[in-house]
Amino acid sequence: GIFWGYLIDFQSITPQQPLGKYGPTFEDTMPLQDEVEETPEDRQAVFDDLGREEEGGLGYFLLHRGYTLWWMVTAIGLIFAVLLLVWSAQDGYELELSYNPLTLDGFITWVGLLGTSLSVVLYISQRNWITDDTEASIGDKLYSMRETMIHSASETAFVTFWVMAAYLIFEFTLLFSGVGEDQLAKYGDGIIAVTVAALIGLVPGCGPQIIAVAAYTKDIISFPALAANAISQDGDALFPLLVRHRAASLWATVHTTIPAFLVGVVLLWLDLPF
């Protein structure tokens, strides 16, 4: 990744020159504005001009009352997630699905179910489901730490919701197509698997990457395919860039897909056991 970044910098590759200094130059549709020195009074004026969310409606009530419970469940889930990593590494512990809350497995299961359900509720409660922050939400986050925690919970719930959606799409696709994991494993190795994994990395968001990791742990895809997908995947960091500069986001994800494919091919050629 570092080498590829230096190579892009050496070739002077930008959104306006996607092929570098040897290719054509495209006009910037979003030119940068000249920087103007701002005084503290100007910054305060901008802050005061930002809108505020309207305090009303069921969604506003659920979001601004349920975020505390969400943070509590998330904190408990984080603690048990770390403990599960330690237990699995030391004792080979494997979590089993159980609905008895009086057992350890059952308690962890219910924490996961409750956290996921709360994330869905918070996601539905927010008014911008797939759009960027509004001036009202930005103003609220700048206004107080409480509002920052509320919107942090809603944005994390956004990620959780779409990861869950990706999992459901994957599992239901297997269910209704009649294709089993053993059949997918036949195509999980080789150059085609590496290519498909790298191309899936073009999809923004962390959902495809999580599915790829789960598929690797079940021996559905090979390690070269997993590495290609991991390098190609830009995660949720691509969403802000996608909103603010679509051309830059497009070329950024393309330039991560190329080294992802090359690394996957090299690992496939080396045939390293993992």
pLDDT in tens, 114-136: 999 998 888 888 766 555 555 55
Of residues 63, 39, 218, the one with CA closest to residue 128: 63
What are 205's strand-pairing partners? Answer: 235
Whether the per-residue pLDDT at 110 is higher than 90: the answer is yes
In sequence order, the 6+-apart residues with CB closer than 8 A to the CB of 209 are 201, 229, 230, 233, 235
| Model confidence band, residue 45 (pLDDT cutoffs 50, 70, 90) | low
Percent of the chain exceeding pLDDT 70 equals: 68
Extents of the domains making up the chain = 57-178, 179-274
**Range from 40-54, 113-127, 188-202, 206-220 carrying the lowest mean pLDDT:** 40-54
Alpha carbon separation from 46 to 135, 239, 274 (Å, rounded): 11, 25, 54
Q: How far is it, in rounded angstroms, from Cα 59 to Cα 239?
A: 24
- 89: exposed, middle or buried (C-beta count within 10 Å: 0-12, 13-18, 19+)? exposed
Whether the per-residue pLDDT at 38 is higher than 90: the answer is no
Q: How far is it, in rounded angstroms, from Cα 224 to Cα 263?
A: 8
Q: State the average pLDDT for the chain.
A: 75
Residue 241 has a pLDDT of: 66
Which of 235 and 82 is assigned the larger pLDDT?
Answer: 82
Q: How far is it, in rounded angstroms, from Cα 85 to Cα 149?
A: 27
Give yes or no for a contact between 119 and 157, defined as CB atoms under 8 angstroms apart.
yes
Alpha carbon separation from 65 to 97, 147, 154, 157 (Å, rounded): 30, 11, 12, 15
pLDDT in tens, 88-103: 877 777 888 888 888 9
Which of 266 and 36 is assigned the larger pLDDT?
Answer: 266
What are 235's strand-pairing partners? Answer: 205
Q: In this structure, is the dihedral angle defined by the CA atoms of residues 190, 195, 198 and 201, taken in order, positive or negative?
A: negative
- CA 79: distance to chain centroid? 21
Cβ atoms within 10 Å of 214's Cβ, excluding its own: 13
Residue 51, both tokens: 């809108």
Helices (H), 12-133: 40-49, 58-90, 104-125
Amino acid 19 reads L
